Amino acid sequence: MKKILSVILCIGLGLGILQAQNIEISGRVVEANSQAPIEFATVKLLDAETGQMLAGTTSEADGSLLLISQDATFTLEISFIGFLTQKISDYELVNNRLDLGTILLSEDSELMDEVIIRGERSTTEFQLDKRVFNVGQDLSSTGASALEVLNNVPSVTVNIEGQIQLRGTGGVQILINGKPSVLASDGGNALGTITADMIDRVEVITNPSAKYDAEGTSGIINIVIKKEEKKGVNGSLTLNTGVPNNHSLGFSLNKRTEKFNLFSQLGVGHRTFPETFESINSNFNDQSYIRNVGDGEKNETFFNLILGTDYHINERKVLSLTGNFAYELETEYSIGNFTSENRSSGPVAGWTRKEATEATNPKWQYELQYKSDFSDKDDHYLLISALGSSFAKDQMSTFNNLPSFGETALQDRQQTDTDFGQAEYTFKADYTQPLTEEITFETGGQYLITDVNNDFAIRTLENGVWQDIPERTNTFFYTQKVLGIYSTAAYEGEKYGLKLGLRVENTDLKTLLEQTDQDNQQNFTNLFPTLHSSYKLADNFSLQGGYSRRISRPRLFDLNPFYNIRNNFSIRTGNPDLLPELTDSYEITGILDLELFSLSSSVYHRYITQTVENVTTFEDNVAITMPMNIGTNKATGIELNGKYTPNDWLSLNGDFNYNYFNREGTFEASPFDFTADQWSARLTSKFNLPADFTLELIGNYQSKYQTFQRTISGYALADIGLRKKIMKGKTILNLSVRDAFASRVFENRTVQNNFSQYDYRLRGRFITFGISYGFGKGEAMEFSGQKRF
């Protein structure tokens, strides 16, 4: 009995002691400067003697914390990334309670500097079937658009009209976050609504695997938009102003909780694109020519909003919904001074052509995506997405011809009217399963629907009434449906990697000109095999090889027969009968990575059939340009990309691309075989200067090159960027000068047996000053107001 009482007494005393030591610890964690609460700060309860962790928690959305301890002697450690760690070991218990009150965390200036420096670095990473260019915070991106960011990416060039080439060849497919997007379509230069601060990285895929859509003869460029997922609240506010007009305000905000990630980006602004131009049409038969010299400007007021959320159903299932709305108001003015002359008798007539254009461009896009990760292996997942987008353009242009001397047969006034609409719907499913640590299997499918209508008219003013020109007025309908399925299998060992794939795509294309009842229907199925391999010869040297078959279906504006009469002696129109290009692409790449120097070198070959070329015909001094399928193109080239960082204040990045091509074919029963080449080079120098200044200098050269009928002139340009960080990197001041010497021109000559044509355009220098402030847990970013060069 005594033993039983002793046991009960001991248990009772033990419980009493434990109850007496049940200590409640509370407090609130805030930022020292702003007094803003810090969510998800890490709170550790450590043994006072051994430092061993006894318990832990994280702070709530309001910064509050709550811990229970059964030991009266302990040390508290409160930490959060970017802030100095706070340790508390001196305290006083009151009734087994410890109220820490307000705990102030101060920013760690050294750590903050390190974080920002990492964010600024723009590096190129090599993967089995692509290269990844991390945009970072390049100085030259201040006030830059997505097009200008692309122009600084290795292998990519963008001309003055915004046409994108990869290794000197067009037919590039542009994706946004791995999917087709109205923002990357041909309509309305929509890439202008994507700004530099929105871009996380750019993926350059010269030989895409079968997992990707087979569209694009020269490859794929995938623009990955930032979607912050820092826990808590973070954001930035940016302001740009520039000459010529480039004024914009940008705002980004992100909120991350345990279940939700809410993100948003907003941009508004106004910008102006001045231009000088010259064109000459020469008729060799009668020794006459028509010359046009003038200037103009395009003004855009734009608005862009991105909203999205990720809902984490559980640790392995995520549902995402994203919406994007963009709107542009455009006005355009130009004055062209025309002169008609005969080389032997002199001037015949002169007149001035004035243009006034107004347009609205609304664009929207939404996407619903579901991702489920399986628990058996990493990277075993199912991804299902549905995407819808729309782009519209309502444009009216009026042209006045004012005679200055002589007589002309031109109408006094002309008008063009276009009502354009495009809708796209993409349904996609991807399944990835690692079979072993080295072997991965992928399969999936995609169904893409594109539906377009364009009601266009060209009119003349007769007796005070606008009259349609029947042969230049019509309604164009375009419908394309592409169904694709694929499978890939990949082996990636320590030294050797191999990836095989096959994609099958069926294309159903229909076009109709309603008024003239002209239709074009095409239905075809293609196989697209792919092969990628890699071999690591040493720790710092590896080889990659790849093959892919690609298709480039006719772009909408290449099919649309609407006539552009801005210069009614140099007209551009589409071709509804255009066929797709098919490309076989091969390449081998060597990659050397040393401590201070890295170099990649690629040798590639592309064989393109049914090559699309712009063909110009000439009649009555009017040059009409239309895309046509002309023969084959065999292009062989070499590309070098290098980076040298000799010390912590200087880094050099260089790119060089050379390709030699052999064009073969027949046009109008005459062979036109010829060979030509082209090359480009870029050098970027970045200097880290005292007082947190950074200077960036970019030199770029594009050689002249030849097409079926044209010779495109080369150019050299320089961009300059200067940055100053203040407030421990929370605020960044940027100055950017693009095309510093106003040397980037678009110039081409067409010389045929009976005529020649010359075109010249210059945009000039753009200077932009920007200021960016990061608040909450965000860092300063850069927002763009610029769209074109």
At 214-228, the pLDDT tens digits run 887 677 888 777 665
In angstroms, rounded to a whole number, what is the distance separating the alpha carbons of residues 787 and 193?
Answer: 7
Among 630, 598, 594, residue whose Cα is nearest residue 709: 630
In angstroms, rounded to a whole number, what is the distance separating the alpha carbons of residues 427 and 388?
Answer: 9
In angstroms, rounded to a whole number, what is the distance separating the alpha carbons of residues 664 and 630?
Answer: 8
Residue in the block written with tokens 């549905």: 386
Average the pLDDT over each of 187-196, 434-443, 513-522 and give the range with the smallest value: 187-196
Q: Across residues 566-575, what is the average pLDDT?
A: 85
Rounded (5°) CA angle 592-593-595: 145
In angstroms, rounded to a whole number, what is the distance separating the alpha carbons of residues 583 and 207?
Answer: 11
Sign of CA dihedral 89, 90, 95, 100: negative
Average the pLDDT over each of 15-24, 434-443, 565-574 and give the range with the smallest value: 15-24
In angstroms, rounded to a whole number, what is the distance separating the alpha carbons of residues 179 and 426?
Answer: 8
pLDDT at 162 over 80: no
pTM over 0.75: no
- Does the domain at residues 232-735+760-776 carry the CATH identifier 3.40.630.30? no
93-110 pLDDT, tens digit each? 888 888 888 888 876 644
In angstroms, rounded to a whole number, what is the distance separating the alpha carbons of residues 589 and 547?
Answer: 12
| Dihedral, CA of residue 79, residue 80, residue 83 and residue 85, to nearest 10 | 10
379-432 pLDDT, tens digit each? 899 999 999 989 899 999 999 999 999 887 777 889 999 998 989 999 999 999
Superfamily of domain 17-107: Immunoglobulins (2.60.40.10)
Residue 133 · residue 202 · CB < 8 Å: yes
What's the pLDDT band for 152 if we cut at 50, 70, 90? low
Residue in the block written with tokens 């905000």: 253
- Domain borders along the chain are 17-107, 232-735+760-776
Helix (H, G, I), strand (E, B) or coil at 161: coil
Residue 256 · residue 265 · CB < 8 Å: no
The confidence score (pLDDT) of residue 135 equals 67
The confidence score (pLDDT) of residue 789 equals 28
Q: What is the mean pLDDT of the chain?
A: 82
In angstroms, rounded to a whole number, what is the distance separating the alpha carbons of residues 780 and 251?
Answer: 11
Paired with 686 in beta bridges are 651, 696
Residue 519 structure tokens: 């239709």
Residue 597 structure tokens: 């120097």
